Amino acid sequence: MMATSSEASKGAPVVAIRKLAKSDVPTVWMILQESPEAAAWSQESLLQLASADPAGWVAELNGLPVGFLIGRIAADEFEILNLAVAAAHRRNGIASKLLESALEFSRNVSCVSAYLEVRVSNVPAIKLYTHHGFTESGRRVRYYRHPVEDALVLSLNLSGNH
Ligand SMILES: CC(C)(COP(=O)(O)OP(=O)(O)OC[C@H]1O[C@@H](n2cnc3c(N)ncnc32)[C@H](O)[C@@H]1OP(=O)(O)O)[C@@H](O)C(=O)NCCC(=O)NCCS
């Protein structure tokens, strides 16, 4: 996930993916404040997740967290619970790098599929996931509140994607 030394020497942004740490919580929470489409978790919830050694990652740009992804393993499935990238750093492939790390981890722990729920109106997120091979596998009617909206369930078969 690191840029090559030639990229770094040309001054290209260096994005690195690493595991989420408790010290990331304030920055991750700030990213959530500018991401109303993401699940609105409190700092307390984030701290609990970060303390429990979750399946969580941050993307660092020149050493500063600019995106995160948190998931969980449920039996042989990997569920993506939350994902956001700081508004100023979107469309630079950062969510893709986070997603690729999470999917690689999922395969390594023998998950057979990955899935998530997303608001039907969240076109950027739906395009991101379909770009990575996810397809619609269900719909949960009136799943979200504020505003009330359906969720699409998007899934990816991991066993056929090695
Ligand atoms: C959705 C989100 C995480 C995408 O992050 P990102 O770092 O900008 O995504 P990437 O740069 O890796 O995008 C990869 C691909 O996804 C698709 N995509 C991402 N954002 C898009 C947008 N705004 N419009 C259309 N397609 C988009 C494109 O296919 C893109 O590839 P391209 O840039 O080569 O065209 C970001 O917009 C975000 O944080 N949104 C708010 C929180 C959120 O919605 N979270 C998801 C909850 S399920």
Q: Can you give the CATH number for the domain in which 83 is found?
A: 3.40.630.30
Asked if residue 125 is part of any domain, the answer here is yes
Ligand 1, atom 30, lies closest to the CA of: 128
Tens digit of each residue's pLDDT (9 = 90 or more) over 26-55? 999 999 999 999 999 999 999 998 888 679
Token reading at 96 = 């893709």
Q: What is the pTM of this model?
A: 0.92
Asked if residue 162 is part of any domain, the answer here is no
Ligand 1, atom 22, lies closest to the CA of: 124
4-18, 60-74, 120-134, range with the lowest pLDDT: 4-18
Q: How far is the CA of 125 from the centre of ligand 1 (A)?
A: 5
Q: What is the domain count for the chain? A: 1
Distance CA 41, CA 45 (A): 6
Owning domain of residue 57: 5-157
Tens digit of each residue's pLDDT (9 = 90 or more) over 134-154? 999 999 999 999 899 999 999
DSSP 157: E
Q: How far is the CA of 95 from the centre of ligand 1 (A)?
A: 7
Are the C-beta atoms of 55 and 108 separated by less than 8 Å? no
In the Cβ-directed half-sphere of 8, how many Cα atoms lie within 13 Å? 11
Pairing of strands 113-119, 135-144: unpaired
Q: How far is the CA of 88 from the centre of ligand 1 (A)?
A: 12
Asked if residue 122 is part of any domain, the answer here is yes
User: Can you give 26-57 as a three-state secondary structure string?
Assistant: HHHHHHHHCCCCCCCCCHHHHHHHHHCCCEEE
- Mean pLDDT over 112-119 rounds to 98
Ligand 1, atom 17, lies closest to the CA of: 128
Distance CA 52, CA 91 (A): 31
Is 5's pLDDT higher than 50? no
Tens digit of each residue's pLDDT (9 = 90 or more) over 58-102? 999 998 999 999 999 999 999 999 999 999 999 999 999 999 999
Helices (H), strands (E): how many in the chain? 5, 7
Q: Which amino acid would we find at residue 143?
A: Y
